Structure 1
Amino acid sequence: MKSLPYFNKREMRKIAGFEFELTRNITIGQYVPTGSIIHRMDPRIKLAVFTLLVISMAICDTYVGNFLALMFACLLFYISRIPISYGLSGVKPAIPFILLLALLQLLFYSEVASGGEVLLDYGFIHITTDSIRLVIVSALRFIEIIFISSVLTLSTSTTQITHGMESLLRPLRTVKFPVHEFALIITIALRFVPTFALEMEKMMKAQASRGAEFGTGAWWRIVQRTKDVFPIIIPLFNVAMSRAEDLVLAMESRCYVPGRERSVSKKYKPSRTDYAALMFCIAFAIVLLTFPFPY
């Protein structure tokens, strides 16, 4: 009797399609209704808190501060009743870029982070304790911002994001800024992220069924994996244009006119919980920016 072919774990995952499950690793732009207190918050408060946290995390340059920010981002997942695995799956596609960014900072940012104790000095490579801190802090910032962005989009629908952003930017109408159009563009861009991921997943599976090499290289072989994606860039661009045309026709069929004043079916009113959450996040941001952490 002829024996069955042996497949290792990686080959079995590829046969099962796990190498092409891109939608599992895309958290930005999706909405998971769990009914948590974060889901019930005013979208304007959530957008203000998101902006405040991102700015404070981007400025904080200490180990302890970024560790506290990472723990706070994980706490937001717990409060919103969203599994932390969603946040980790959103970080997974960014790991090669984080490693590449870390390598470039370590090798070519010696002039920016030239202080501290010298660990390695060979040719153009000049590694110090400050450059190591720059690499670690930058990676933590990247992960924190992905976590915060995931919590925002997973707990807020696209309609709420549009109305919240338009309400926050309403004072800019005095200088003739197209507030509604800008909010709509940002919302559509967020909503199309999982849509394009799904289309790309379909194309990769179709190309792999025809013998294309997808998912065969190790995850750290960035150049090879980038070359594997090249054949689907043009088809994906065509799909994007087709989707955009369908969206335009749908908006025109509903008599959408840019610049025209539009009514709102639901008006948001912040509660005491919303104000308390805003005050707490402001205090947390102040601590991150002003407290003299030892490390």
Structure 2
Amino acid sequence: MAAHEFELTRNITIGQYLPTGSFIHRIDPRIKIVAFTVLVAAIAVCDTYAGNIIALSFVCLLFRLSRIPVGYGLSGVKPAMPFIVILAVLQLLFYGEVASGGTVYLKYGVIIITSESIRLVIVSALRFIEIIFVSSVLTLSTSTTQLTHGMASLLKPLKHVKFPVHELSLIITIAIRFVPTFAMEMEKMMKAQASRGAQFGQSAWWKIVERTKDMFPLIIPLFHVAMNRAEDLVLAMEARCYTPGGERTSYRKLRARPGDYLVLLFCLLFSLFLIWFPY
């Protein structure tokens, strides 16, 4: 059995934090969250080859500027590859009529493959990769505490309508933070099961059904660990006198610098370029 089959934490980039000290790490978290939202929206709308290639190049540049290895970002795409492949096959075979126009290459019953459906498959795969990359840059360059304070500050106006701003921000950041934690727990379980003779990773990566069956013995133990982790988190928050809905102050005040606003302006202009430039 290959050793890399157990290296799940190396392939999970979302939810981890790498303090490299780059200028992207020093940007105000509110600015980064808004810029992230704008970039994801632009990537989701962009539907051309050239636009997605430019977006992918820009995201790789973000890795470079944040001093995070691009190879580490690529490792975050690996867990999503089976879903990307399944989606690509379904789009290729059954989206021929939806993606109307273009040259028809194959028509057999409900299966229609056209040049437009092929374009849709490639563009959709690029979109998934770009969004994973952007999400990785955000979480790798922003700590969990910064994400919580940033989202709470952005959603603060909703407090006037009795919206639980802090609670929602806390839930989102905990969910993001627990992604690598659950990957680490699953890695421990796989190693424990393998030491007892269980087989993992024997099937090829494209045999998704077989690889899914291999994961069945881990589902119940993983749920059990998740419940225990949640209970420990509740006890820790109660020990610190956490009260939902209570008024809170922050030790550190978020202050955006002029350079942060320039970064946001550049992201807005780049997003508009991706959407409206006539490629």
Q: TM-score range by the shorter chain?
A: over 0.9
- 1:103-114 counterparts in 2 under 5 A? 103-114=89-100
Secondary structure, counterpart of 1:127 in structure 2: strand
Q: Which amino acid aligns with 1:258?
A: P
Secondary structure, counterpart of 2:106 in structure 1: strand
Q: Does 1:150 align with 2:136?
A: yes
1:28 paired residue number: 14
TM-score where L is the length of structure 2: 0.99
- 1:128-139 counterparts in 2 under 5 A? 128-139=114-125
Task: Please state how far the C-alpha of 1:184 moved relative to its aligned partner.
Answer: 0.1
Paired with 1:210 and 1:117, the residues of 2 have a C-alpha distance of 54
Task: Please state how far the C-alpha of 1:120 moved relative to its aligned partner.
Answer: 1.1
Paired with 1:109 and 1:177, the residues of 2 have a C-alpha distance of 40
Paired with 1:105 and 1:171, the residues of 2 have a C-alpha distance of 41
TM-score where L is the length of structure 1: 0.93
Counterpart selection for 1:228 from 198, 211, 214 = 214
- 1:1-295 counterparts in 2 under 5 A? 11=1, 14=2, 17-293=3-279
Paired with 2:215 and 2:47, the residues of 1 have a C-alpha distance of 35
Report the RMSD for the aligned CA atoms in angstroms: 0.7
Task: Please identify, of 123-132 and 238-247, the stretch whose mean Cα deviation from structure 2 is larger.
Answer: 123-132
Paired with 1:211 and 1:271, the residues of 2 have a C-alpha distance of 57
Identity %: 72
Q: Which amino acid aligns with 2:262?
A: A
Q: Which amino acid aligns with 2:264?
A: L
Paired with 1:182 and 1:108, the residues of 2 have a C-alpha distance of 38
Pick the structure with greater CA Rg: 1
Task: Please state how far the C-alpha of 1:114 moved relative to its aligned partner.
Answer: 2.1
For residues 256-278 of structure 1, give each alpha carbon's deviation from its aligned partner in whole angstroms, at most 9, with x where no partner exists. Answer: 00000111010111111101101
Paired with 1:179 and 1:212, the residues of 2 have a C-alpha distance of 45
Secondary structure, counterpart of 2:112 in structure 1: strand
Paired with 1:177 and 1:111, the residues of 2 have a C-alpha distance of 43
Paired with 2:250 and 2:221, the residues of 1 have a C-alpha distance of 38
For residues 25-77 of structure 1, give each alpha carbon's deviation from its aligned partner in whole angstroms, at most 9, with x where no partner exists. Answer: 00000000000000000000000000000000001000000110000000000
Paired with 1:199 and 1:99, the residues of 2 have a C-alpha distance of 26
Task: Please state how far the C-alpha of 1:19 moved relative to its aligned partner.
Answer: 1.1
Unaligned runs of 5+ in 1: 1-10
Secondary structure, counterpart of 1:284 in structure 2: helix
Paired with 1:52 and 1:227, the residues of 2 have a C-alpha distance of 38
Paired with 2:255 and 2:74, the residues of 1 have a C-alpha distance of 33
